Amino acid sequence: MRAAVHERYGPPEVLRIRDAPQPEPAEDEVLVHVRASTVTRTDCGLRVASPFFVRLFTGLLRPKQTIIGMEFAGEIVAVGSAVDDFAPGDLVFGVKRGSNAEYVCVKTSGAIARIPAEMPVEQAAAVADGGCSALSTLRQAGLKPGQRVVVYGASGSIGTAAVQAAKNQGAHVTAVCGPNAVELARLLGADEVVDYTREDYAARGETYDLVFDAVGKSSYRRCRRALKADGLYITMDGGFMWHAPLLGLVSKRVKLGVARYRKEDVETLAAMIAAGAYRPVIDRTYPLDEVVEATRYVETGQKTGNVVLDLG
């Protein structure tokens, strides 16, 4: 099978399209013929091993998992002997490392669900990573209906998902984004939209129960005046974990958001899609052969929503 691989850490140019052995499903796994995948910020971080400590998990000198990619959407072509809840022919989507490849094996207890009827496979590929990250972080924050929430970085993969997920949970959502995404944020359901190039949301005199920094580009120091007395600031910034424990000792109003990929959350996203309460946002689509170009674009920090890889 063809796959995007990196045998060393480095810039996008270390990625190569190579032939790799097709995996065989274990008894509790399904084999998915991947039709579409994505390039995410997480993929980019793993490729360069940043922050450096991630090498403790990914390989100290070179990557242990050479096939890149996190998200998949495609058709099940084989199932393990113990699988009874999926069958060949099912269209599925979810999260599994090594998904920038023509085939991937996924445990049925993992982050996988059926694609809702009428949803194109290419769109389904752009749901699970940002959606699961948003749902798990909002759960970590203890979001309640009626609370006032700021989603900072509302135009990215996690941000567009967080706007929709928070709104679906009954929150009043203020989306903070650049001028090119203002109308998109409104279409996704935001109650208010702030263009950060024109206005500082933290200086408006309003207070919020939660500030969710989906891109790691704000700070607790800047936003604390906009938090209610019992409000919470939570960020997806991986570099923040170096000083998050220290801030946590000083204030319980600061947390590091942790993305968790659960089957229940993928199924929740599928149900939201079926109910018309969630839609993925796709900026650009590239063929697998152009994974380097796709990765370069993701690393500009200018993408809106997701960048999809079409595996044909």
Nearest-CA neighbor of 310 among 32, 100, 112, 111?
100
- Model pLDDT, residue 265: 98
239 C-beta neighbours (distance < 10 Å), count: 12
Q: Are 121 and 74 in contact (CB under 8 A)?
A: yes
Residues of the chain with pLDDT under 70: 238-251
pLDDT tens-digit readout, 207-237: 999 999 999 888 888 888 999 999 999 998 7
The Cα–Cα gap between 302 and 312 comes to: 26
As a whole number of angstroms, the distance between CA 170 and CA 166 comes to 7
> Is-contact 152 212, C-beta < 8 A?
yes
Instruction: Give the residue extent of every domain in the chain.
Output: 2-127+280-310, 130-256
pLDDT computed for residue 292 by the predictor: 98
Taking phi over 0 as left and psi of -120 to 50 as alpha, with beta for the rest, 29 belongs to beta
Per-residue confidence (pLDDT) for residue 56, from 0 to 100: 85
Q: Which residues pair with 176 in a beta bridge?
A: 152, 194
pLDDT at 244: 54
Tell me, what's the pLDDT at 211?
97
Question: Tell me, what's the pLDDT at 251?
Answer: 63
Q: In angstroms, rounded to a whole number, what is the distance separating the alpha carbons of residues 152 and 169?
A: 18
The fold for domain 2-127+280-310 equals Quinone Oxidoreductase; Chain A, domain 1 (3.90.180)
Please give the Cα distance from 104 to 4 (Å, whole number).
12
Q: What is the DSSP letter of 240?
A: G
pLDDT score recorded for residue 221: 86
For residue 101, which amino acid is it?
A
Q: Rounded to the nearest 10 degrees, what angle do helices 128-141 and 157-168 cross at?
A: 50
- What distances in angstroms separate CA 90 from CA 117, 171, 271, 306, one per listed residue? 11, 34, 17, 24
Q: Write the burial class of residue 57 (CB in 10 Å: 0-12 exposed, 13-18 middle, 19+ buried).
A: exposed
Query: Cα–Cα distance between 223 and 211 in angstroms, integer?
Result: 8
CATH of domain 130-256: 3.40.50.720
**Residue with the two structure tokens 């023509």:** 102
d(CA 259, CA 261): 7
pLDDT of the residue at 248: 54
pLDDT of residue 238: 58
